[in-house]
Amino acid sequence: MIEIKDLKKSFDGRTVINGVSAVMQTGKCNLIIGSSGSGKTVFMKCLVGLFEPDSGEISYGGQNFTTMNEEQRKILRRQIGMLFQGSALFDSMTVEQNIMFPLDMFTKDSLSEKQKRVNEVLARVNLEDVNNKFPAEISGGMKKRVGIARAIVLNPKYLFCDEPNSGLDPQTSILIDKLIKEITLEYKITTVVNTHDMNSVMETGDHIIYMDQGIKEWEGTNKEIIFSKNKKLNDFIFASEFLQDAKDMRMLEMKGKIDNNRNMDELLK
């Protein structure tokens, strides 16, 4: 679990994060959504220590991250996996070397132990026999899966994903969403995803935070978001006529279920 209390961050006198408090829940996909400039990327970077907040508190499993020294943070970072927007693979390294990089940095395992672990995580993301390929030799979707394999190679407690579906076709995006969801549940990871992909929101959003101009405007689940009465959130989600029509159909479907249940109750009286 990650607990955030009254987090604030400004740049050159401009407030970007304004008093955000939240709890990122263990074993769930915690999504941060919002339009460009909403503060969601800065918020995530504060959580992992890439930016220092001006005030507030970030706690990982009860440990206050904001007051830790660099050595303490280094120990904690071993429990954190990162999936970057562009996968951030090293072009000059093979797939195996890319995934082994965190093991080289944080462990004293033998080469055979590291190779075994690399093969385990590659199998977990449904990629085998690609160890010796270079990033330029694999597809965008495969790069994302290699990025996920690298992110989980140290068995992290926390997984951060920055726009995991960026640049992917719809089918591959669904595959990546499903994989992140499965890994989150399987390993009971606290997963935090920064996204604007509404399919990801509806499919994986166990816990959703909507940000607007640095403020937490709404918080809930993917089951609750469609019924939200928050105008800013609705304007963001249902910006197109297609999505608005989908919402109207969903509302009618839910109303039909409620009416059917009510009729059934009356018949059973």
Q: What is the pLDDT of residues 41-96, one digit of tens each?
A: 999 999 999 999 999 999 999 999 999 999 999 899 899 999 988 788 999 999 99
Q: How far is CA 150 from CA 79, 114, 216, 253, in A?
A: 13, 12, 31, 41
- Domain check: are 44 and 83 in the same one? yes
What is the pLDDT confidence band of residue 236, given thresholds at 50, 70 and 90? confident
pTM of the predicted protein model = 0.85
Alpha helices in 70-155 (DSSP H): 70-77, 95-106, 111-124, 140-152
Q: Is the pLDDT of residue 228 over 60?
A: yes
Residue whose C-alpha is closest to residue 2's, from 61, 44, 54, 45:
61
Letter for the amino acid at 60?
Y
Q: Which domain holds residue 78?
A: 2-232
Say what the pLDDT of residue 260 is.
57
Q: H or E element: which one contains 210?
A: strand 207-212
- Domain check: are 214 and 250 in the same one? no
Mean pLDDT across 256-265: 54
- Domain check: are 54 and 97 in the same one? yes
Residues 6+ apart with CB under 8 A from 28: 184, 190, 191, 206, 207
**Using one digit for the tens of pLDDT, what is the confidence trace for 132-186?**
999 999 999 999 999 999 999 999 999 999 989 888 888 888 999 999 999 999 9
Q: How far is CA 124 from CA 128, 173, 200, in A?
A: 9, 17, 21
- Domain check: are 50 and 81 in the same one? yes
- Domain check: are 13 and 43 in the same one? yes
- Domain check: are 189 and 266 in the same one? no
- Domain check: are 245 and 227 in the same one? no
Residue 220, domain CATH:
3.40.50.300
- Domain check: are 268 and 157 in the same one? no
Total tally of structural domains belonging to the chain? 2
- Domain check: are 55 and 124 in the same one? yes
Instruction: In whole angstroms, give the CA distance from residue 117 to residue 132.
Output: 15
What is the pLDDT confidence band of residue 239, given thresholds at 50, 70 and 90? low
- Domain check: are 215 and 160 in the same one? yes
- Domain check: are 217 and 251 in the same one? no
- Domain check: are 243 and 220 in the same one? no
Average pLDDT for the chain: 88
Are 225 and 237 a contacting pair, CB within 8 Å?
A: yes
Letter for the amino acid at 250?
R
